[in-house]
Chain A
């Protein structure tokens, strides 16, 4: 039983499912839903996802049964069947994936059985993704779980040098494509081939044959974990969860954890870490002049999702020598999980201890800042929280202006720049 949300930074399960399916090569979603669902979702995806655009068959091209009053009264399964068949006639795809909206679930339409009755084998799937089931992240898990269960071929002989990696959620992580490229390269550095399903140059074959992998690496404690459990149940493959890495400290932990889980020698792990560090500091060296001449150390407020806030805060505290004071996590997460998340903000090498708050409301951020840092009560000598940076989404722009801080949007929604192949950049 949740509560209302002031300016949510995610959409519904169906929205997450659309974003996920659009990001997979050769897959076209078929929405069984009221007419506006796909349109609204597409606006949210495009407008918040760094202008990711409509892609191959997204935006206003999304096939959708568009149920109206007639179907709500008499049932929509007939209409769905007609829509699936006509979609397969006109729209070219390797896989068609039916996802359901709230309305058709409430009237009891059974998309799964409609799909079964059409007997299209591994070309047609269905999952219930009604918006009231959860937010975008939930939709990502539902879609992956379904594909792992029904599309991924079972009983493959294992390839000892192959792993799968996910947990970076398309669109919710605006930089997902660039991030997957970099994470893949890191794991390749340990001597493994990597399927990420959504990455550059990958096809559905990577997904189809993914049960050959010896390990599933979920780059999140929260997103994609349900799918990893499903994968394990169906194909017996173990998984590890590892924090989404940003910067030297985060990436070092990532390489160590993944390398150790794969049984890579300490020597190779350290070699890779050293190599990555040389490359990284080779770039970071460029800003030393500016950093030192202009005193670029900043107080920071970090606002956003579980994956990014921990990665960015560690980067700011331990790599950059900044002072992250406050972290606000906007996700809808369960009480028991908050504890696991909270631990990630307590072990910084720099000894910095930011305050961590869970609050789903955008208006909460300013209130937490004012509570966290004592306001000036007319004193001539006041130690203000300046200079400061608010790092979050485009929604935090106003908050930053109100405390005279600079603002950077790196988490969904990012509406003030176009994101192409870049990775998360500070």
Chain B
């Protein structure tokens, strides 16, 4: 990764992750074959002959952008694009209000491209929508999210926005996340950060204050030298933020949390930091890479603070940047000791239980390690996609050589087959896709979410506590599995679960 260059900001859109990171979206086989395939780059471009719907870059971009406060979203596309926001409208408001009790709910406008527009272009409707957003809501930012159709008909979104910006007070942010461009849903993170970097960060830096004397300058520089940008993700909770903040503040650091639930203006200060701290490399490499390029801010990227060992590593990595490793080691020792003591009774309850995990590959691998520490046996894992960042974490999971790993964005048919063979005692899965394992009768433990604490030391305890609770009564899923069924022929379960993947190398 040391060789990667981050110099894409002159382009209107970032490259797709298939190209930039040689990411893979279809695989089934052992961890060791996966590891080798990723290193050699031979899993790039695998395909399925049967596929099920999956999230696209637009859907995932909105998941982040919807959290931005004081902003209005304009989805440029036919009337259905961004319709999934209906699901997030209420949720988004409640979580915004944890950060600001007065925050408004989610406002999004769809430009409603129709058949005529698909021939003659949709630029006028886009202009009208932006002007309406400005006049009606007076937001700090108007975020234009571009979908497939205007990209194909050749709407010049950038020049529409450039012209309009002269007469619009809100900062207009353009996010190019046309779903058909990338199979790797996580390309969305790059699209979102690309739009934020180009429109809210670079060239928008808050002007340096004129200091009245050296003392004031010294104080400001001291503050900056202790400030970290903690990069959150839209699927983590406020509780997670509080826990990570608690840890970093215990090291004497000042914490600024971005990009989710922040306001557009918050990004003007992003360069005023001594370190960028990521909790997920899949989410942040594009952002921290560019911030390093432009402002020479170093970063911590390759650990996720889930579970004891990973949290410890995360803390020590950060401390290393500030020369306070010894202090951090004392903190880590104290925290670990107390946590391990609290976890003891749970370890007994989990002994002999087996688990299958599905979700974002980074969090799946980190959670697998945590569950192993808690005494569970990991039978297999599934990640949305895979690239070198995941590859580096495989070795942290014990006995990984022959563990089955499925790379699939959605595609529950492969997993249903696999679970039928593996029969784990509990299924850990990502919000939105747990219904299928539930219908097979497995107890479900949702992997980290916006409502519960999952990260840091307190998160490890919460995971144990919740898992123990969930395992106490699985009657609901058992009943459901008896009286509903999955949509596949019985013969499917006799087949190789990865039958429909072309050249998967497994």
A, B co-complexed: yes
On A, residues with C-beta under 8 Å from B are: 1-8, 10-15, 28, 31, 34-44, 46-48, 53-54, 56-57, 59-69, 72, 82-83, 86-87, 89-93, 102-103, 106, 130-135, 332, 363, 394-395, 397-398, 413, 415-416
B51 close to chain A: CB less than 8 A: yes
What separation, in Å, do the CA atoms of A130 and B181 have in the docked complex? 18
CB distance from B67 to the nearest CB of A (A): 16
Query: Taking CB as reference atom, which chain A residue is nearest B54?
Result: A35
Q: A10-B83, A66-B54, A131-B81 are in contact. List 8 more A-B contacts (CB 8 A).
A: A4-B110, A4-B125, A31-B53, A40-B58, A102-B149, A103-B149, A103-B180, A135-B80
B489 close to chain A: CB less than 8 A: yes
List, in ascending order, chain A residues with CB within 8 A of B152's CB: 72, 103, 106
What separation, in Å, do the CA atoms of A176 and B353 have in the docked complex? 43
**B179 and A56 within 8 A (CB):** no
Contact A398 to B87, CB < 8 A, known contacts A5-B112, A36-B54, A60-B433:
no
Query: Taking CB as reference atom, which chain A residue is nearest B113?
Result: A132
Query: Taking CB as reference atom, which chain B residue is nearest A393?
Result: B86
What separation, in Å, do the CA atoms of A103 and B113 have in the docked complex? 13
What separation, in Å, do the CA atoms of A96 and B107 have in the docked complex? 37
What separation, in Å, do the CA atoms of A61 and B108 have in the docked complex? 27
**B179 and A35 within 8 A (CB):** yes
What separation, in Å, do the CA atoms of A332 and B112 have in the docked complex? 11
**A12 and B492 within 8 A (CB):** no
CB distance from A193 to the nearest CB of B (A): 28
B290 close to chain A: CB less than 8 A: no
4 closest A-B pairs by CB: A36-B56, A47-B87, A38-B53, A12-B80
Query: Taking CB as reference atom, which chain B residue is nearest A87?
Result: B50
What separation, in Å, do the CA atoms of A72 and B183 have in the docked complex? 13
CB distance from A141 to the nearest CB of B (A): 15
List, in ascending order, chain A residues with CB within 8 A of B84's CB: 39-44, 47
List, in ascending order, chain A residues with CB within 8 A of B409's CB: 35
Q: Which of B129-137, B301-309, B322-330, B336-344 lies at the binding interface? A: B129-137
Tell which of B85, B88, B487 touches A57, judged by Cβ atoms closer than 8 Å.
Answer: B487
What separation, in Å, do the CA atoms of A132 and B58 have in the docked complex? 17
**B86 and A61 within 8 A (CB):** no
CB distance from A97 to the nearest CB of B (A): 14
What separation, in Å, do the CA atoms of A97 and B373 have in the docked complex? 48
List, in ascending order, chain A residues with CB within 8 A of B55's CB: 35-36, 39-40
List, in ascending order, chain A residues with CB within 8 A of B88's CB: 43, 47
List, in ascending order, chain B residues with CB within 8 A of A413's CB: 86, 89
B148 close to chain A: CB less than 8 A: yes
What separation, in Å, do the CA atoms of A91 and B411 have in the docked complex? 13
B488 close to chain A: CB less than 8 A: yes
List, in ascending order, chain B residues with CB within 8 A of A82's CB: 49
Tell which of B50, B82, B105, B486 touches A40, judged by Cβ atoms closer than 8 Å.
Answer: B82
Tell which of B87, B109, B411 touches A5, judged by Cβ atoms closer than 8 Å.
Answer: B109
Query: Taking CB as reference atom, which chain A residue is nearest B181?
Result: A69
List, in ascending order, chain A residues with CB within 8 A of B105's CB: 397-398
On B, residues with C-beta under 8 Å from A are: 49-59, 74, 77-90, 93, 104-105, 107-118, 125, 128-129, 132, 136-137, 148-149, 152-153, 179-183, 409-413, 432-433, 435-436, 485-489, 492, 500
CB distance from A257 to the nearest CB of B (A): 32
What separation, in Å, do the CA atoms of A93 and B118 have in the docked complex? 34
What separation, in Å, do the CA atoms of A4 and B112 have in the docked complex? 5
Count A/B pairs, Cβ under 8 Å: 242
CB distance from A29 to the nearest CB of B (A): 10
Contact A60 to B54, CB < 8 A, known contacts A7-B109, A46-B87:
yes
CB distance from A308 to the nearest CB of B (A): 17
* Residue in A11, A66, A415 with the greatest tally of chain B CB atoms within 10 Å: A66
List, in ascending order, chain A residues with CB within 8 A of B82's CB: 40
**A132 and B83 within 8 A (CB):** no
**B53 and A60 within 8 A (CB):** yes
* Residue in B152, B410, B500 with the greatest tally of chain A CB atoms within 10 Å: B410
List, in ascending order, chain B residues with CB within 8 A of A14's CB: 80
What separation, in Å, do the CA atoms of A72 and B112 have in the docked complex? 22
Contact A40 to B487, CB < 8 A, known contacts A4-B111, A67-B180, A68-B180:
no
**B148 and A415 within 8 A (CB):** no
Contact A86 to B49, CB < 8 A, known contacts A56-B487, A61-B413:
yes
CB distance from B356 to the nearest CB of A (A): 17
Please name 12 pairs of A and B residues whose Cβ atoms are closer than 8 Å in the assembled complex, sorted by A: A34-B56, A36-B55, A56-B485, A59-B432, A60-B54, A61-B436, A68-B183, A90-B492, A103-B149, A131-B79, A363-B137, A397-B90
Tell which of B52, B180, B412 touches A34, judged by Cβ atoms closer than 8 Å.
Answer: B180
List, in ascending order, chain B residues with CB within 8 A of A135's CB: 79-80
**B435 and A90 within 8 A (CB):** no
List, in ascending order, chain B residues with CB within 8 A of A6's CB: 107, 109, 132, 136
What separation, in Å, do the CA atoms of A3 and B409 have in the docked complex? 34
What separation, in Å, do the CA atoms of A276 and B180 have in the docked complex? 54
What separation, in Å, do the CA atoms of A398 and B179 have in the docked complex? 31
CB distance from B56 to the nearest CB of A (A): 2
List, in ascending order, chain B residues with CB within 8 A of A3's CB: 112, 125, 128
List, in ascending order, chain A residues with CB within 8 A of B80's CB: 11-15, 37, 40-41, 44, 131, 135
What separation, in Å, do the CA atoms of A271 and B53 have in the docked complex? 51
**B79 and A11 within 8 A (CB):** yes
What separation, in Å, do the CA atoms of A13 and B118 have in the docked complex? 15
What separation, in Å, do the CA atoms of A173 and B58 have in the docked complex? 27
What separation, in Å, do the CA atoms of A131 and B79 have in the docked complex? 7
Query: Taking CB as reference atom, which chain A residue is nearest B178?
Result: A34
**A394 and B90 within 8 A (CB):** yes
**B110 and A34 within 8 A (CB):** no
What separation, in Å, do the CA atoms of A47 and B113 have in the docked complex? 23
**A44 and B83 within 8 A (CB):** yes
Query: Taking CB as reference atom, which chain B residue is nearest A138?
Result: B79
CB distance from B360 to the nearest CB of A (A): 15
List, in ascending order, chain A residues with CB within 8 A of B413's CB: 61, 90
Tell which of A1, A8, A53, A102 touches B435, judged by Cβ atoms closer than 8 Å.
Answer: A53
**A2 and B87 within 8 A (CB):** no
What separation, in Å, do the CA atoms of A205 and B49 have in the docked complex? 32
**B86 and A66 within 8 A (CB):** no
**A28 and B79 within 8 A (CB):** no
What separation, in Å, do the CA atoms of A82 and B49 have in the docked complex? 6
List, in ascending order, chain B residues with CB within 8 A of A1's CB: 114, 116
List, in ascending order, chain A residues with CB within 8 A of B149's CB: 102-103, 106, 131-132
Query: Taking CB as reference atom, which chain A residue is nearest B149?
Result: A102
**B79 and A10 within 8 A (CB):** yes
Contact A40 to B90, CB < 8 A, known contacts A35-B56, A64-B51, A90-B492:
no
CB distance from B65 to the nearest CB of A (A): 14
CB distance from B49 to the nearest CB of A (A): 5
**A40 and B89 within 8 A (CB):** no
CB distance from B109 to the nearest CB of A (A): 5
* Residue in B56, B117, B485 with the greatest tally of chain A CB atoms within 10 Å: B56
**B53 and A35 within 8 A (CB):** yes
What separation, in Å, do the CA atoms of A6 and B128 have in the docked complex? 12
**A44 and B118 within 8 A (CB):** no
Contact A5 to B54, CB < 8 A, known contacts A72-B180, A90-B492:
no
Contact A103 to B148, CB < 8 A, known contacts A44-B83, A87-B50, A90-B489:
yes
